[in-house]
Amino acid sequence: MSASTATATTATAEAAERRARTDAAPADYVGRFAPSPTGPLHLGSLVAAVGSFVDARSRGGRWLLRMEDLDTARVVPGCAAHMLRTLEAFGLQWDGSIEYQSQRIGHYAEALQALNARGLTFPCSCSRRERLGDGGYPGTCREGARRAGPTATRFRVDDEKIVSFQDRAQGTCTFRLRERGDVIVRRRDGAFAYQLAVVVDDALQGISDVVRGVDLLDSTPWQLALQEALALPTPRYAHLPLIVEPDGAKLAKSGRSVPLDPQAAAPLLHRALSLLRQDPPAELELEAAPTVLAWACAHWRPERLHGVRKAHAPRNNPRSPN
């Protein structure tokens, strides 16, 4: 991206941010945090949780919690309960009851039926190996599954369509749907896929603002296309920087991806806010977790994240005080 494009994008994002701030009356803001209970929360998940929490609370909005537990083979028993205790210890108190996707299958089945009825789906027999390639799914089974046996269900994207949206953090994002390919909405094992479930849940929970990691930016065009096909509203999006190792690599099983220590809640919240470029004062680390969050809500400057895709985790890890 050239420097001038980057500037233009940032300016547009700032305009969108101002618009978003004035458009959303506090009571209209509904945010959410939607972790998968497949492993404990770590620094990367804390950054996403804090970003969405503070964005919601700084506008007097609600903050909902959803467990994305559809991938039953990967769900770790006891993990969801452990996450809830961790969020509470960090002062990240959610509103209302927690939604578990595993208990919402009926809603996803209805949505799939609606897509089927509109002729927007097709069965796909391709194996993971056959799907490998540079681009998205090449449309292999559009005219019929290639072989007998269990099939996944794909949503047929409009090849001609270009999806463009204003991300509050990443500016103007434009995708050609053909390059993303036809997306799986029901897996071969019968489980509903994340892309369908998230669209249905965001709509049914009345989510106005999705604030999440930039690793999901590539999924957003599919989600917008599914919202349109299902006549569901589109929330505003803000994609937060991905937390990476000091050398820029994906956050590995190092000290920076260990489970969050509730004894170090305040220093870890402080660290999350630093990674979100909020420049929290150093002495805040010594306060209690709710005080750190209250400071963050009073001083939240989401515009500092414009165009930021990566944040480098520091080398050392905050220790518990004793």
Residues found near Zn ion in the complex (CB under 5 A): 124, 126, 140-141
CB 267 within 8 Å of CB 289: no
Q: Minimum Å distance from CB 224 to Zn ion? A: 23
Give whichever of 142 and 315 is closer to Zn ion, judged by the CB atom: 142
Residue 107 CA from chain centroid, whole number = 20
Q: Minimum Å distance from CB 210 to Zn ion? A: 29
Give whichever of 120 and 265 is closer to Zn ion, judged by the CB atom: 120
| Token pair of 4 as six digits | 């001038």
Q: Minimum Å distance from CB 244 to Zn ion? A: 33
Give whichever of 126 and 191 is closer to Zn ion, judged by the CB atom: 126
Give whichever of 176 and 188 is closer to Zn ion, judged by the CB atom: 188
Q: In which order are the strands placed within the sheet that holds 99-100?
A: 30-33, 62-67, 99-100
Q: What is the 3-state secondary structure (H, E, C) of 213-252?
A: EHHHHHHHHHHHHHHHHCCCCCCEEEEECEEECCCCCECC
Q: Minimum Å distance from CB 130 to Zn ion? A: 7
Residue type at 75 in one-letter notation: V
Q: What residues have CB less than 8 Å from 2, skipping those under 6 apart?
A: none
- What is the distance between the alpha carbons of residues 108 and 196, in angstroms, rounded to a whole number? 7
Give whichever of 20 and 124 is closer to Zn ion, judged by the CB atom: 124
Give whichever of 140 and 205 is closer to Zn ion, judged by the CB atom: 140
- What is the distance between the alpha carbons of residues 244 and 315, in angstroms, rounded to a whole number? 11
Q: Minimum Å distance from CB 139 to Zn ion? A: 8
Return the closest-CA partner of residue 41 out of 72, 65, 60.
65
Give whichever of 90 and 137 is closer to Zn ion, judged by the CB atom: 137
Return the closest-CA partner of residue 50 out of 313, 318, 295.
295
Return the closest-CA partner of residue 80 out of 92, 68, 96.
68
Give the N- to C-terminal CA distance of the chain in Å, as an integer.
47
Q: Minimum Å distance from CB 223 to Zn ion? A: 21
Q: Minimum Å distance from CB 191 to Zn ion? A: 17
